[in-house]
Amino acid sequence: MAKYAILIYDDPAGYASMSPEAWSAVVDAHSVFVKQVFELGGSLAGGEALANTTTATSIRGGSTVTDGPFLETKEALGGFYVVEARDLDHALEIAKGCPAPFGGVEVRPVVDPTQANPF
């Protein structure tokens, strides 16, 4: 099984005005998604929600440190999962169930450093 990152990009503004009940529903949707990963024959190798982009600190050019995200965009990386799937098609099938109420998800293979240069 290969590893794939499911990157969750959402508009943070959607979460800013979210009620506690709506937040609870999103958390519940992610719990359902985790169960679905296994039901679809995949496995979960990790994942986390990320704090708001206002908490980000970026380093550019190896030494310039600035407050804030690397880029100003409408959608920001809000969290990720790492799943193990048979192939890309299987990873995409799994990722279709990943909640992203204010955006979408991106699926990318995780590089195995023991293999030939993937770039």
CATH number of the domain within which 101 lies: 3.30.70.1060
Number of domains the chain contains: 1
Is residue 39 included in any domain, yes or no?
Answer: yes
Asked whether residue 118 is domain-assigned, the answer is no
The reply to whether 15 falls in a domain is: yes
Most confident of 18-22, 34-38, 65-69, 75-79: 34-38
In a domain, 117, yes or no: no
Is 116 a domain residue? no
d(CA 119, CA 115): 11
Residue 66 phi, psi dihedral angles, 5° rounding? -135, 150
Alpha-carbon distance of 114 to 119, in angstroms, equals 13
Which domain does 49 fall in, by range?
2-109
Residue 103: inside a domain = yes
* b/e per residue 72-88 (b: at least 16 CB within 10 A): eeebbbbbbbebbbeee
User: Could you report the per-residue pLDDT of 11-54, keeping only the tens digit for each?
Assistant: 988 988 899 999 999 999 999 999 999 999 999 999 999 988 88
Query: What pTM does this model have?
Result: 0.88
